[in-house]
Structure 1
């Protein structure tokens, strides 16, 4: 559907479309205004000669855009919903009208999708009905799965053709189950059933809610079955994870969360339960479990390839996760909430990775993909799993339709999956996700004028790495660089359309601006987004912590509004004769830092002066950045390293506080002394208690270093996760952990600095001695 043409939409879908457009226009205008204010761009319109050369001779092509803007990777907030549009789960009224029209025309791929439905067992009107009072998984759940699929198929046929025989059959099934079923039980798998089947029952009911042959009593009874049996189980799992919420939350892989997120959201819409819907959306954006988007996509590799959380488990569950997250985002989209674009199209990043992982090349091999090892309660995952590879799950159309057909983006690996699995049909006894996606999700051909987008530029291992989303019809891409925001761009690299959309540049010191162009058979499309990078990196946050009074600590860089002292945090005497921050280790004493300080930061240096009156409490933190106790980055002042010795420890993880993806330990020290002998032996002369100590940690590429008083004491030589992988970090602190329950740090702090590069050993030494 072209979002700029709403003239042919039914009234209920017209309102949905207006919601989307208004929100997007507001965000685009706001970002453009703020960006131009920051960079002071004067001339937004690029003047080019017929051959594309600008007045200064550079290759600066005009896409017809009225301007350029600094790329912004912050995801807009999703507002809480109070009412719903119907029908509005997997399909809208406009979708069904399109299906009717395309089937009548015999157009592809709708004709093939319709044939997949009408040739399936679920099309038959003579199938037996199997309502069951007590459903168990494992156990007799297969009867419900078959009837559920049958009902959904009947509902589709009625909605598309108007044939009341199928409408009556769908109602017969809905009424039979709602008047019979009383419970859903079993082992832990019962929570898979609550989400997987609660979602699909709701989708069938949503299609039928306008059928005159379904009595108000029948509709209310079916809504009651979902609200009373399925919804509480979905909610219970997402809140408690079968009793493991605060012990081993990563025991449950991404698809467990996603199944129940889908169930809660779908039931919320069908039953007009805004609380359930909003809770599901909130979990998607900020949940603790593996199904939340920040955890489901464990790592973002070059070219916006998103490593899925279950990639090392097996491919059946991995592809199920993509099917479920596609279903979830489509239902939200039809209510006017765009989760597809969240975190720079993170869902597409995951889908492309999983699709590539399950595509067998003509050689018989699979594409070579990056993989970052990680740990959870199941152990260490070191490589992509070969179990079930390649997997034949057919639910790629929903992802393809949104990103390629609606938005005009390039999704080469997903496109291959669509070609391989068309038309998406149904398998008897399956039922993990809705069927017939070719028929229900296809919306036409993509736009050919979508420029590259989603450009990110990060300093990684001392160089600039660029990643972007491509255009559907691109034949090649040009990476362009300039010293000005909106003009003077020169091509520094050209990539073919089949190459991974990433490029690493070494431009030298200075401030540089990047953009991407895509060349199609008809025209050259210039991205409206510009990425700015200052090399070799900058001081991006600096708290001198020398105010001496009040509760505000100023950011000397001027980039943020500074920090706020909390609780009994106060001021004392610093190491250089100036005041410093004094944290007593009690009464909620800490410093609240601005959110998202490490957004888009890869290489990093964090440095601070520290003085402790005694050995810091175990698990107290000098600084921390993150979302909660599952996803964080920081430095513990004191952590038990093994049975006999403690250590200072810098760590980063997206899994849980017990299983980190990267760790740097300082030299071990005696439990009663802080920063004592490197070998852990007791020596009061080696103690730094009561002294000012300069502490710094750096991360460059995958190498982490920890410095004490300007000297490197230890390293983490293979840290696959960089701070930007944490995405948003609303919980940023000095003197406390992101979880809120670890002990507070006791001591004094001064001159806290963050650089978006790894300082050299010489530079660290200068900080420590300056």
Structure 2
């Protein structure tokens, strides 16, 4: 493991500066359902659940026992969702995120059971919000929009392309995504990196549902830039890559932005020294965008995105599993709590590509079945655990 001390000259800094990723074109024809989970993946999960195979049956049972799968759930839409820092004030923030997760949960439940009540419940929730919401306000509005905007298209894709019943207000839901969510998330953010990564996840997913190629390309380019600036690789140079709009043009500014960490090693993220929970948000969003891109025909796992994801998962997993924290890393103290965020990346990189990921594998298996973080991650042992598709 290469360690780079904080003695970087200006020339070295420039070597580590942002390099524009190659342009990524939207597919000529979008694949549906195609946001994070594909029809082939859904078919595999359904087959395994119905056969009673593990870990999928346990993951399904966990999902169905959750509040999100309750057919008696009443959606709670708000016209304006107001979210301050750490959702304080919380005027609709939890309601919106959890209703969006519930819609996705019901869509998954529909696909596995073919019980139309679950599809209709997902539609009821999506209709309630599309008839009501007009915007988001306060300091956490961009992140909130990204979190909820990541779950809505996952639910909508499954319902629109697998349910043969009526969704009379589908066009209104699409209008909600285009007018309420997309204009905010597509702008990105110069806050901590998990914000922009989550926002780009939402923008990519919404673009797939809307079949908006221009927005897809814009979101994917911003995603590539932010992913490169979020996870450090030794090949980046003496300091991490940066996002040009943030003007992190000195080593001191970069160190400050990286939570005061001045020794950079492969797999470290911009928020590792903040806490693993927010780091998990960023890692999860990277894996979700990479998975959506693969389904849409461009496999990013073989690019630097995949390498950054692999290294970030391995580095964080090692310490989440209890490895002693060295003094040079975050002052010798880490705030753990990575969350249920390893399944998608682990399946893609280890199971599909055959890459050894010992620490990530141990953590993933220990955490099965992976549940929900109640924000924008849900049921990924069911959808992606050892899924060959």
Q: Which residue of 2 aligns with 1:442?
A: 385
Are 1:229 and 2:180 an aligned pair? Answer: yes
Which one of 228, 232, 250 corresponds to residue 298 of structure 1?
232
Question: What does 1:32-111 correspond to in 2, within 5 Å?
Answer: 78-111=24-57
User: Contact 2:23 / 2:221 at 8 angstroms: preserved in 1?
Assistant: no
8 Å contact kept, 1:300–1:349: no
Whether 2:319 is the aligned partner of 1:348: answer no
Q: 1:220 aligns with which of 149, 171, 180?
A: 171
Shift of the alpha carbon at 1:80?
Answer: 4.2
The normalised TM-score by structure 1 is: 0.41
| Residues 1:392 and 1:258: Cα distance change in structure 2 (over 3 Å) | closer
**Alpha-carbon distance between aligned partners in 1 of 2:279 and 2:34, rounded to the nearest angstrom:** 27
1:196 Cα shift? 1.2
What are the within-5 Å matches in structure 2 for residues 552-571 of structure 1?
none
Residue 386 (str. 1) matches residue 334 (str. 2): yes
Question: 2:99 maps to which residue?
Answer: 147
What SS does the corresponding residue of 2:137 show, helix, strand or coil? strand
Which residue in the other structure is 1:18 paired with?
A: none
Q: Counterpart of 1:128 in 2: which secondary structure?
A: coil
By how many angstroms is 1:175 displaced? 0.8
Q: Cα offset for 1:227?
A: 0.6
The separation in 2 between residues aligned to 1:273 and 1:417, in whole angstroms, is 37
CA contact (8 A) 2:182 2:206 kept: yes
Is the contact between residue 425 and residue 437 of structure 1 (CA under 8 Å) also seen in structure 2? yes
Cα distance in 1 for partners of 2:213, 2:381 equals 30
Larger radius of gyration: 1
**8 A Cα contact 1:311 1:384, kept in partner:** no
| Superposition pairs of residues 147-546 of structure 1, within 5 angstroms | 147-187=99-139, 189-210=140-161, 211-215=163-167, 217-236=168-187, 238=188, 241=189, 249=190, 252-285=191-224, 287=225, 292-300=226-234, 305-343=266-304, 345-361=307-323, 365-366=324-325, 368=326, 371=329, 383=331, 385-387=333-335, 389=336, 391-426=337-372, 430-431=374-375, 433-444=376-387
Q: Output one character per residue of 1:143-188: Cα deviation in whole Å (capped at 9) or x when no partner.
A: 112211211111101012210011111111111110111121122x
Q: Using the TM superposition, give the Cα deviation of residue 355 of structure 1 relative to its aligned residue in structure 2, in angstroms.
A: 1.4
**Cα deviations across residues 575-608 of structure 1 (Å, max 9, x unaligned)?**
xxxxxxxxxxxxxxxxxxxxxxxxxxxxxxxxxx
CA distance in 1, matches of 2:388, 2:295: 20
Q: Could you list the runs of 5+ residues in structure 1 that have no partner in the other structure?
A: 1-74, 242-248, 372-381, 447-770
Superposition pairs for residues 704-723 of structure 1, below 5 Å? none
- Measure, in 2, the Cα distance between the counterparts of 1:369 and 1:78: 40
> Distance between the aligned counterparts of 1:440 and 1:320, measured in 2?
18
Separation in structure 1 between the aligned mates of residue 166 and residue 292 of structure 2, nearest angstrom: 23
Looking at structure 2, the residues matched to 102 and 76 of structure 1 have their Cα atoms a distance apart, in angstroms, of 39
The separation in 2 between residues aligned to 1:410 and 1:369, in whole angstroms, is: 27
Q: RCO greater where, 1 or 2, for CA within 8 Å and sep 6 or more? A: 2
Separation in 1, partners of 2:362, 2:266: 16
In structure 1, C-alpha distance between the alignment counterparts of 2:302 and 2:33, rounded to whole Å: 23
State the TM-score, normalized to the length of structure 2: 0.80
C-alpha separation between the residues in 1 aligned to 2:371 and 2:61?
9
How many residues of Structure 1 are paired with residues of Structure 2 in the alignment? 333
How far apart are the structure 2 equivalents of 1:118 and 1:369? Answer: 44
Task: Give the structure 1 partner of residue 247 of structure 2.
Answer: none
CA deviations over 1:493-526 (Å, ceiling 9, x no partner): xxxxxxxxxxxxxxxxxxxxxxxxxxxxxxxxxx
Matched, 1:136 2:136: no
Q: Give 3-state SS (helix, strand or coil) of 1:425's partner.
A: coil
| Partner secondary structure for residue 306 of structure 1 | coil
Give, in angstroms, the shift of residue 370 of structure 1: 7.2
Q: How far apart are the structure 2 equivalents of 1:121 and 1:356?
A: 32
| Superposition CA RMSD, Å | 2.3
Given that 1:182 and 1:229 are in contact with CA atoms closer than 8 Å, whether structure 2 keeps it comes out as: yes
Alpha-carbon distance between aligned partners in 2 of 1:370 and 1:307, rounded to the nearest angstrom: 12
Higher strand share: 1
Deviation at 1:383, TM superposition (A): 4.2
- Deviation of 1:305 after TM superposition, in Å, equals 3.6
1:208/1:214 contact within 8 Å kept: no
Contact 2:301 2:307 in 1 (8 A): yes
Q: How far apart are 1:403 and its partner, in Å?
A: 0.9
Q: Which runs of 5+ in 2 are unaligned?
A: 1-20, 85-89, 236-264
CA contact (8 A) 1:396 1:418 kept: yes
Moved over 6 A (4+): none
Q: Secondary structure at the match of 1:307?
A: coil
- How far apart, in 2, do the equivalents of 1:426 and 1:196 lie? 13
C-alpha separation in 1, matches of 2:151 and 2:358? 29
Q: How far off its partner does 1:214 sit?
A: 3.5
More helix by share: 2
3-state SS in 1 of match to 2:35: coil
| In 2, Cα distance between equivalents of 1:224 and 1:321 | 28
Distance between the aligned counterparts of 1:311 and 1:439, measured in 2? Answer: 28
Question: Could you say what secondary structure the match of 2:359 adopts?
Answer: helix
Deviation readout 1:589-641 (Å, 9 max, x if unpaired): xxxxxxxxxxxxxxxxxxxxxxxxxxxxxxxxxxxxxxxxxxxxxxxxxxxxx
Q: What's the offset of the Cα at 1:349?
A: 1.3
